[in-house]
Amino acid sequence: MKPERIDIEQARHATGLRIVTLAMVPSPWGEALKGILHIKQLPHARIGHMFGSPTKTLQEWTAQDSFPVMAWNDERPRTTWIEQLYLAERLAPTPRLIPERLEDRILMFGYSNELCGENGIGWTERLRGVHEQVTKPGGDPAGVSAYLGKKYGYTSEIGRGATERIVSGLNALTARLEQQKARGSRFFIGDSLSAMDVYWAAFSNAMKPLAPELCPMPEMIREMFTTTEPSIVAATRPILIEHRDFIFKNYLELPVDLS
């Protein structure tokens, strides 16, 4: 199922399901949304936005300039991971990615928020990267780092604590997978695939990308999305990457299409 490719102006006035994602980079929120739509086999039109291109039309349409955006007919555009998941679940109830069992839902949304939410692992990794750029000799304090710092609420205090927060989050995910493995499950929640598995696959690919043949991207982008901080590398335990590879191989599209 290949999505129709349209531009932002067409998307703004179209019907049906449309998503706007960043092109050429493994942006985790956008790749997770694409993965959810792939699993649910939801036909949609896709707009690949090149970083640095004007966002005036997007701002007029959605009152913000972040990605991804998900739109259904003339309903309000969805701009956060949680409301995008709920919309996808409504449009295609099966296969379900939000667990039916209450306790499993609580676990899934809790772990997902620690990964995808504000101040979660993905958010904090952006802040850590900003801190690295503004503090190291020869960094880039006035370029992309200044843009991301403003967008994600960077302060030097937050930057100094970012690595520790990411490591503690990764340790919690490792403990969860080890617990699940001990009870015979291949998934983060219960005994079946949930959105949390998709989120981890996408977010880990933005810290330790898949091999070039599985996720083609410019080498400069690959370097940007490869975390080299030693404590984070150490906390990214083999069980986390094995899980990521299992989800991609069995449920997601390979090679990854970043267009």
pLDDT tens by residue, 216-246: 999 999 999 999 999 999 999 999 999 999 9
Q: How confident is the model over 48-103, as pLDDT tens digits?
A: 999 889 999 999 999 999 999 999 999 999 999 999 999 999 999 999 999 999 99
Query: Would the pLDDT of 142 be above 70?
Result: no
Q: Which residues pair with 18 in a beta bridge?
A: 45, 71
User: What is the predicted pLDDT for the residue at 98?
Assistant: 98
- In sequence order, the 6+-apart residues with CB closer than 8 A to the CB of 176 are 111, 188
User: What is the predicted pLDDT for the residue at 244?
Assistant: 98
Burial label for 205, CB within 10 Å (0-12, 13-18, 19+), is: buried
CB 68 within 8 A of CB 26: no
Query: Would the pLDDT of 35 be above 70?
Result: yes
What pairing do the DSSP bridges indicate for beta strands 69-72 and 45-49? Answer: unpaired
Q: Pick from 217, 214, 222: which is nearest to 253 by CA?
A: 214
DSSP string covering 63-124:
SS--S-EEEETTSPPB-SHHHHHHHHHHH--SS-SS-SSHHHHHHHHHHHHHHHSTTSHHHH
Local confidence band at 141 (pLDDT 50, 70, 90 cut-offs)? low
Q: What residue type is 194 in one-letter code?
A: S
| C-alpha span between 177 and 209 (Å, rounded) | 20
Q: How confident is the model over 172-214, as pLDDT tens digits?
A: 999 999 999 999 999 999 999 999 999 999 999 999 999 999 9
